[in-house]
């Protein structure tokens, strides 16, 4: 085993982030037991099987399948720091939110909650497509079947670790190959098309990271199957663009309706007007509105 720790900002709640990771019992890419998270992380030529805990304001990481001379811990540290969004300074967001009728109570109630991301861009885009227009439970069922069928699996210490399928693996599939998993024809086609875009080097995490927010959004939307919602989701979850905002998101609409005690859902224009106050912090405003549901 190899162990190391990662210090966290004051405005970080491990418990709130764990709540998010526990949102579905069907989640296959990590497991949680006794407050610890177990997750496989792909390095260049090694799959690190990690145990992540929390103590004394530090994230405690154990690489279960590495020895004391393990040298790639800094890659895992970077992955986990991105995963829990440790680099974002939330002080300005909280200062803004404290003076907002919708957000003030939410930031008090869920203080320290951060965007639990998806550092892998292909996973982020594919998962966004898989989960569209179906309930969350069935979305996780499809994800579970997809990962079990085409992903990587390793068993260690009585725990099963999985990795999301790679673009190379998925690009080899035909549209119909996902239909037995109960993917719709359209979703099956789009997931394969997204994988091919990576394999053909039309898109990569590294190339998108160099672009401005609008350029990045347009580049992602040039991929067949990636619309505005999916692009914004990936820009929020993978790249931490603070202004990523899925305007048409039903969860955001329901949260505003509930918090404002409206009889009907707000129009897109009404949602846009609400979010004008959150300029520069749209992603975190979205996160806390989702958390209110």
72, 100, 177, 249: the active-site residue:
249
The two three-digit tokens of residue 148, written as one number: 């079990």
SS3 for 263? coil
Residue the block writes with tokens 């409206």? 262
Alpha helices (runs of H) in the chain, residue ranges in sequence order: 14-21, 73-83, 91-97, 104-109, 121-130, 136-150, 167-171, 185-199, 205-209, 213-221, 228-237, 250-260, 268-276, 282-291
The two three-digit tokens of residue 237, written as one number: 């979850």
Assess whether 177 carries a catalytic annotation. Answer: no
Question: Which of 8-21 are b and which e, b meaning 16 or more Cβ less than 10 Å from the residue's Cβ?
Answer: bbebbebebbbeeb
Whether 70 and 2 have beta carbons less than 8 Å apart is answered as yes
The two three-digit tokens of residue 249, written as one number: 């998101």
- Beta strands at 30-33 and 36-42: parallel, antiparallel or unpaired: antiparallel
Which residues are catalytically annotated?
249
């Amino acid at each position: 085993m190899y162990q190391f720790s990662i210090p966290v900002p004051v405005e970080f709640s491990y418990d709130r982030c764990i709540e998010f990771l526990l949102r579905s019992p069907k989640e296959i890419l990590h497991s949680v037991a006794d407050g610890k998270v177990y997750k496989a992380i792909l390095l260049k030529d090694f799959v690190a099987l990690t145990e992540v805990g929390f103590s004394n304001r530090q994230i405690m990481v154990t690489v279960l399948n590495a020895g004391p001379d393990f040298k790639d811990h800094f890659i895992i540290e970077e992955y986990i720091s991105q995963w829990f969004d440790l680099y974002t300074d939330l002080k300005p967001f909280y200062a803004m939110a404290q003076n907002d009728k919708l957000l003030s109570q939410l930031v008090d109630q869920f203080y320290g909650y951060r965007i639990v991301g998806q550092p892998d861009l292909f996973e982020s885009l594919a998962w966004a497509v898989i989960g569209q227009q179906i309930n969350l439970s069935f979305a996780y069922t499809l994800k579970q079947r997809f990962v079990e069928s085409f992903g990587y699996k390793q068993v260690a210490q009585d725990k099963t670790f999985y990795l999301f399928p790679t673009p190379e693996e998925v690009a080899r599939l035909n549209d119909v190959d996902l239909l037995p998993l109960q993917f719709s024809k359209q979703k099956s086609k789009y997931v394969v098309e997204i994988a091919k875009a990576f394999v053909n080097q039309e898109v990569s995490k590294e190339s998108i990271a160099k672009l401005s927010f609008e350029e990045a959004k347009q580049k992602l939307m040039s991929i067949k199957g990636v619309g505005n919602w999916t692009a914004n989701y990936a820009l929020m979850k993978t790249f931490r663009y603070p202004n990523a905002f899925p305007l048409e998101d039903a969860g955001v609409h329901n949260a505003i309706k509930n918090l404002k005690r409206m009889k009907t859902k707000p129009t897109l224009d009404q949602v846009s007007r609400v979010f004008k106050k959150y300029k520069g912090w749209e992603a975190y405003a979205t996160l806390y509105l989702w958390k209110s549901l």
